[in-house]
A and B are shown apart, each in its own frame.
Chain A
Amino acid sequence: MLEIILRRLWQSIIVLLAVSLLVFVMVYVSGDPVELLAPPDATEVEVAQLRKALGLDKPLHVQYLQFLKHALHGNLGYSYVNNAPAVELIFERMPATFELAMMATIIAVIFGIPFGIIAAVNPKKIYSKAIMIGSLFGISFPTFWVGVMLILIFAVTLGWLPSSGRGETVKVFGIPWSFLTWDGIKHLILPSVTLAGYHLALIVRLVRAGMMEVLLQDYIKFAKIKGVSKKKIIFVHALKNIMIPVITIIGLNFGGILAFAVVTETIFAWPGMGKLVIDSIHLLDRPVVVAYLMIVAVIFVIINLLVDIAYTFLDPRIRLK
C-alpha cells in the first residue's frame, strides 16, 4: 500500500506541474493587473515601478520558474490586493467551504443511496416513480435558482432558517467551525441542501440503475435460495457490488463542491473560498487565483487517491498497480 501511495505521489507531482503551467499561462494572458492596481492618476514611471516591484516586468518563463521556486518552499505568492500570502488567505476561508461541501455530500449520500434502492426494488410503485421524477428535477434545476427558492420559502416566507452568513462558530484547533453550534447548523442547512440537490439526484439515478442490473444477477438469486433475507441481499450482497461507480461520483462531487461552490456561496453570503476567488479574478489578483487552482488540483489528486484505495476494499478483483 505504501508503495502505491508513493507512486501516486510521483504521478501527482507531474499532474500538479502540468496544472501549474496551464494555469500560469492562462492567467498571464487574461489581463494586466498593473493597470487595475495602479491609481488612475499614476505616471508611467510609477506604473513601471509597480510592475517591477511585482516582478511582472520579467518574461513569462522567468516568472514561471520564479513561481516554481517559491512554490517548492510552500509559498504560492503574495496577494497584490491584500498584501498577504495567497495560501494563507485561502486556508483562512477553506474550513467554511470544506464544512459546506462535507455537509452537502453527507446529505446527498444518506438520502441518495436509500432513495435509489427504493426506486430500484419496486420500480412500478408510485413512490418509486415520484423519486425518479424528483431526481430529474434535481438534475435539471440550476443551483442558483434552487438556492433563491429555498431562501424565499424557508427564510423569507416561513422565517425558519437564516438566509446568509455562517452564524456562530466554535474554534477547534484554532479553526472556526459552524456545525458545532445550533446556530451554525441552522445557517448550514439551506446552502448545503442547495448544493446537495444535484448530487443527490445523480446518486439516486446511479444507485437505481446499478441496483436494477445487479438484482438480476445469478448470485442474487443464489443468495435468495440460500435463505438469505431480502433486506440482507439488497443491503449487503447487491449494494457492495454497485458501490464502485457511486464512490467515484461521490469523490468527484465532493471535490467539485469544494472547488466550485462559488455560486451558492455568493447567494448565501457564505464566507468561503469561492467568494475569495471570484473577487480575486475580478481584481486580476494572479497569485491568489493561481494558488487557489493549485490547491484545488491537490484536493482532487487526494480525493482520487482515496477513491482508488476504496475500490480495492470494495472489489477484490481490483488491485492497484
Chain B
Amino acid sequence: MTAILEVKNLKTYFFTKKGIVKAVDDVSFEVYEKEILGIVGESGAGKSITGFSILKAIDPPGKIVDGHIYFHGDDLIPKSEEEMRKIRGNKISMVFQDPLTSLNPVFTIGYQIEEAIKVHNPHMSRDEIRERSIKLLKSVGIPSPEKRLKDYPHQFSGGMRQRVVIAIALANNPDLVIADEPTTALDVTIQAQVLNLMKRLSQEKGSSIILITHDMGVVAQMADRIAVMYAGKMVEIGPTEEIIFNPKHPYTIGLIRSIPKLSGRTDKRLYQIPGIMPSLLNLPPGCAFAPRCFCKTDICEKEMPEFEKVGENHYVRCFNFRRIADDRQSCKS
C-alpha cells in the first residue's frame, strides 16, 4: 500500500483576540491509496480544521504554522495560492456537512457542476462538459439529469442536494475526497444511501476518502482505518476492527461505550464521558483528556504522552493504556 497523502506534524492555530487557539496541534497521519480513513472526535476536536488544512483553505485568523502535507510525495505547504487552486476540486476535493448551504442558491446546479469541470478543463468543449455533468448526476442517482441541470438548489431535497455536492466533488476524478460530516444533516435513512453511494463511487474511481465524523457508527461501517482526535491532537489511530473491538485510549473506549445499542438491555442508562472538552484556549499542561479520564495518574497532568505502537498499524497516545487493558478496576485506585 502506498500513501497518497502524508500529513506530518501539522499545526493550525487561530490567532484570536483572546489568545492562540491550537485547533490542530502536531497531527500526523497517512492516507493510503483507495482507502477510507475515518477521523472521529467530538465537536471542536479539530477534525474539520484538519480537513481544511489539507487544502490550505484556512481563513484568517487561522494559519497553518508548521508541518508538512505531502500529496503524492509533493509538499503542499510551500505551494502558492494559484498552485493550490489547481489542486482543489481536481486532485483533492471536499464534501461539506450541510448540503442546504453548500450550493449557491442563485445558480442552477448545471452551472455549478459544469463550473467545477470547466475550471480544471479549460479546453473542454461545452457539449463534452454537459455530457460529463449529466453522466455525473446519473452516477449519483439523480433521475432525469438532463432536465434537472436547469433546476436550482432549492428545488432539490436535502439528500438530493448532497448527491449533487458529491457529484461536484467527484467531477474531476480526484485522488482524495475529504468528506466533512457528509451525512450529519441528513435523515438516518438517507444517511445510509449517501454513505453507500460515496463508498461505491470512490471504489469505482479509485479515490481515497477522509471521512470526518463524530458518529462512531458511521466510521465503523465505512472506514478501513480510524483516527481519533481530541482537543486538537490525535490520540489513537489504527485499523477499524482494532479500534472498535480493541480500543486502547480511554477516550476511544468512552466513545465506543457511548454508541447506543438496540439489542441487549435497553433500560440501562447510556454511557457518557464525564465532563466536557477543555477550551482550546487554555489546555491543561499534560494530556488534554486527563481531567475526564477514569485512569489518570500524576504524570498525565504534567506531560503529554508520545505515540506508542500497540499493534499492527495501531498507535495510541496514553501513559496508562497497558493498565487499562490489564485490569480496568486497577485504574480506580
Contact = CB atoms under 8 A, between A and B. Distances in A.
B215 interface: no
Given A240-B107, A316-B152, A224 B102 contact: no
Interface stretch (A19-27, A192-200, A214-222): A214-222
Interface stretch (B112-120, B131-139, B242-250, B258-266): B112-120
Which of A217, A221, A225 has the largest number of chain B CB atoms within 10 A? A225
Interface in B114-172: 115-116, 119-120, 152, 154, 165, 168
B152 A218 contact: no
A73 interface: no
A219 B115 CA distance: 13
A17 interface: no
Interface stretch (A130-138, A203-211, A226-234, A275-283): A226-234
Chain A interface helix/strand/loop/mixed: helix
Given A225-B93, A226-B119, A219 B103 contact: yes
B88 interface: yes
B50 interface: no
B88 A227 contact: yes
Contacts of B86: 227
A227 B85 contact: yes
Interface string A174-202: 00000000000000000000000000000
B188 to A, nearest CB: 22
A314 interface: yes
B273 interface: no
B85 A218 contact: no
A237 B88 CA distance: 17
B93 A221 contact: no
B101 A228 contact: no
B181 to A, nearest CB: 12
A120 B87 CA distance: 27
B294 to A, nearest CB: 38
A237 B85 CA distance: 16
A213 interface: no
Interface residues of A, number: 20
A316 B101 contact: no
Contact of A225 (B88, B106, B107, B115): B88
A73 B99 CA distance: 57
Contacts of A219: 101-105
B105 A218 contact: no
Contacts of A218: 96, 98, 101-102
A221 B94 CA distance: 10
A218 B120 CA distance: 21
B102 A240 contact: no
A315 interface: yes
Contact of B101 (A217, A227, A237): A217
A227 B89 contact: yes
A224 B165 CA distance: 14
A237 B104 contact: yes
Nearest to A214: B104
Interface string B227-253: 000000000000000000000000000
Contact of B85 (A229, A240, A314, A317): A229
Given A218-B101, A315-B105, A225 B94 contact: yes
Contacts of A226: 88-89, 93, 115-116, 119, 168
A230 B81 CA distance: 10
Contacts of A230: 81
Contacts of B108: 316
Contacts of A237: 104, 107
B27 interface: no
B98 A225 contact: no
27 contacts: A219-B103, A219-B104, A222-B94, A222-B96, A223-B104, A223-B115, A224-B88, A225-B57, A225-B89, A225-B94, A226-B168, A227-B86, A227-B116, A228-B85, A228-B115, A229-B119, A230-B81, A237-B104, A240-B106, A240-B107, A241-B105, A315-B105, A315-B106, A316-B105, A316-B106, A316-B154, A317-B154
3 A-B pairs closest in CB distance: A227-B89, A226-B89, A218-B101
Interface of B: 55, 57, 81, 85-90, 93-94, 96, 98, 101-108, 115-116, 119-120, 152, 154, 165, 168
